[in-house]
Amino acid sequence: MTAVVLLLAVTLLLTASRVVPADLAALIPIPLLVLSGALPPGDAFSSFSSPALVLVSATYIVTEALRRTGPAALAGQFVRRVGGSKEGVVLPLLMALAACMSAFMSNIGAASSLMPAVVRVGQRTRIPPSRLLMPMTFGALLGGTLTLVGTAPNILASETLRRAGYRELGLFELAPLGAVLLLAGIVYMVLIGRLLLPKRQPLDRTQAYGLHPYLTEVLVLPTSPLVGRTIQACRFREEFDISLLGIVRGGKTMLSPGPGTVLEERDLLLVEAEVASMLKIKDTQGLEILSDVKIREVDLKDPAVGLEEAILAPNAELIGRTIKGLNFHRRFGVTVIAIRHLQTKRATKLSQVRLQFGDSLLLQGHRERFAALRRDPNFLALERVTQPVTRWDHAVFTVLVLGTLVLASLLGRLSVTEAWILGAVALLVYGCVRTEEAYRAIHWRTVFLLAGWSTLALALDRSGAAAAGAEVLVQQLSGVAPHAVLALVFTVAALLSQTLSPVAVVLLLGTIAVPLAVGLGLSPRPFLVALAVAPSSALLSPFSHRVNLLIWGPGNYRFWDYSKVGIPLSLLLGGLVLVLVPLHWPF
């Protein structure tokens, strides 16, 4: 038992400190549990084939099918057509639509499908994106409480009940509670949240990405050794960490010049670089820096060359890799001129930046390249994105499969896990989603995180550590009202989910909550339901949920915007959970 508790402490420390990725921190204990004798190998690796993991993976595949075949895109078009121009109408409609999508898709899948349409709605109606994107994500998060497959915590709470010998949660068992939480969230955002939301118009992108200190013009002097050399031979980026964005020659501007373009004397080079790099190239390459030049976004684009913003998609294969390692310009035909991650902006030394989820990239290139980029699954482009439904047979089949899954689960013909895995296979066989797309759609970090924490939770249970911890709590809480115990469990889960993955929170606390409830003579069910909805109800900071990071850049948000709007809403939702859960799931 001591070894298991020590491994738990080390895992929590590694996860909270972010010394290693959270999924790796969760996997480290598995071989150590086997070597220490805490678990036999068969049990230690059984979590990789658990029904919960299979259901989570199948949900990602169904999400991808809904996104690729058209239903998700149609939802975005519906917002644009029906929403009108009144914020008080668009906001609740958007939240309700995001919630309905999130009930059967991952909340990130729902939000990423809607986000480009929401940005365009804001542009058309002149409603700043900051007024729409946060309500959309809150709607998507609350929509996850409507069904068992809405979020991984719901699935894991059900799995915890099954392992303890209790009946699993039904597909729509959480719906009455989720519907009330969603309605409360919509009413709050319309009446109070709107007053707290920031009203920030999108910035000129040279400002938004902090480019002004790094953009300037330099003159190629007649004596410069660069005269007569191609851009590729000059090696601006490789040797001087300078990005060449354009050339002004004879009064005409050539933006995003090709690598074979030859430099001539008296060329004006539009460049992006740090002061130190500029001074270095000035002294060695015969260039003159033109002072007091203020370059704006409009100077970086023309009818042939565009400047566009793209966000890394949730499951982009680019995450964790560098611009240089990807050979980004050769691969995509556009140049990364700045990167924004939350409140951090990088406009220089981009080649070594390791891309992260939620990064916004400012790209310059020829417009035909952007047309191809918008179809690339690695990016969420925010400008002129069109996702027409051109394969109606696949769209209809996807909706029919989803309806069949729901019906089979409701009639009890199949368990939810059996229904969803059969549905995922049917979608793959019919071609609604290709095999490689399915592999890319599955968020493997979450899968490994789930497997690792499931194994650790099993070890806590088998070793008696969970029972020992629960026994201590039973002694301390034996005279406390059940509602107060429920409030304690819910609050701890809500707070822990601000730093730990909701997957880890539900598995860790669920392992203790079951023997705690039994020891107090109570039903574990209300406690597991509270654990399931706690992460979705705790909207305290931008780090509460990954989906919040997705909208940070496009919404031009700041850290406290999330807390200012989310804390009152979290208190409201928490109060409703503590009142409604015991009514629907008695102690």
User: Over the stretch 41-51, which tens digit does the pLDDT of each residue have?
Assistant: 988 899 898 89
Indicate whether 189 and 281 sit together in one domain.
no
- For residue 367, give the CATH number of its domain: 3.30.70.1450
Q: Tokens 């970090």 identify what position?
A: 445
Examine the pLDDT at 468 and tell me if it is beyond 50.
yes
Q: Could you tell me if residue 10 is inside a domain?
A: yes
Indicate whether 310 and 268 sit together in one domain.
no
Indicate whether 173 and 318 sit together in one domain.
no
Indicate whether 219 and 276 sit together in one domain.
yes
Which position has the higher pLDDT, 444 or 343?
444
Q: Identify the domain boundary among 331, 365, 381.
A: 381
**Are the CB atoms for 516 and 567 separated by under 8 Å?**
no
- Give the residue numbers spanning the domain of 314: 305-381
What domain count does the chain have?
3
Strands 252-255 and 243-249: antiparallel
Indicate whether 247 and 175 sit together in one domain.
no
Q: Identify the domain boundary among 251, 275, 294.
A: 294
> pLDDT by residue (tens digit) across 84-131?
667 888 899 899 999 999 999 888 888 888 887 788 778 777 888 889
Residues with Cβ within 8 Å of residue 206, at least 6 apart in sequence: 212, 215, 295, 296, 297, 300
CA dist 559 and 134 (Å) reads 12
> pLDDT by residue (tens digit) across 206-234?
666 666 556 778 888 888 888 889 988 88
Q: Could you tell me if residue 458 is inside a domain?
A: yes
Indicate whether 94 and 149 sit together in one domain.
yes
Which position has the higher pLDDT, 445 or 368?
445
| Confidence class for position 383, pLDDT limits 50, 70, 90 | low
DSSP string, 19-59: SS-HHHHHHTHHHHHHHTTSS-HHHHTGGGG-HHHHHHHHH
Q: Identify the domain boundary among 362, 381, 400.
A: 381
Indicate whether 347 and 273 sit together in one domain.
no
Predicted TM-score (pTM) of the model is 0.82
Q: Could you tell me if residue 339 is inside a domain?
A: yes
> pLDDT by residue (tens digit) across 334-382?
888 778 876 676 655 666 778 887 788 888 787 778 777 777 778 876 6
**Are the CB atoms for 116 and 160 separated by under 8 Å?**
no
SS3 234: helix
Q: Could you tell me if residue 55 is inside a domain?
A: no
Indicate whether 255 and 194 sit together in one domain.
no
What are the φ/ψ torsions at residue 391 (nearest 5 degrees)?
-120, 75
Q: Could you tell me if residue 363 is inside a domain?
A: yes
Indicate whether 98 and 174 sit together in one domain.
yes
Indicate whether 179 and 259 sit together in one domain.
no
Indicate whether 184 and 243 sit together in one domain.
no
CA dist 225 and 234 (Å) reads 9
Indicate whether 102 and 237 sit together in one domain.
no
Q: Could you tell me if residue 229 is inside a domain?
A: yes
Vertex 211 angle, CA 207 and 213, to 5°: 110
Query: Which of 10-19, 73-82, 170-179: highest mean pLDDT?
Result: 170-179
Q: Could you tell me if residue 497 is inside a domain?
A: yes
Q: Could you tell me if residue 280 is inside a domain?
A: yes
pLDDT score, position 180: 97
pLDDT score, position 568: 96
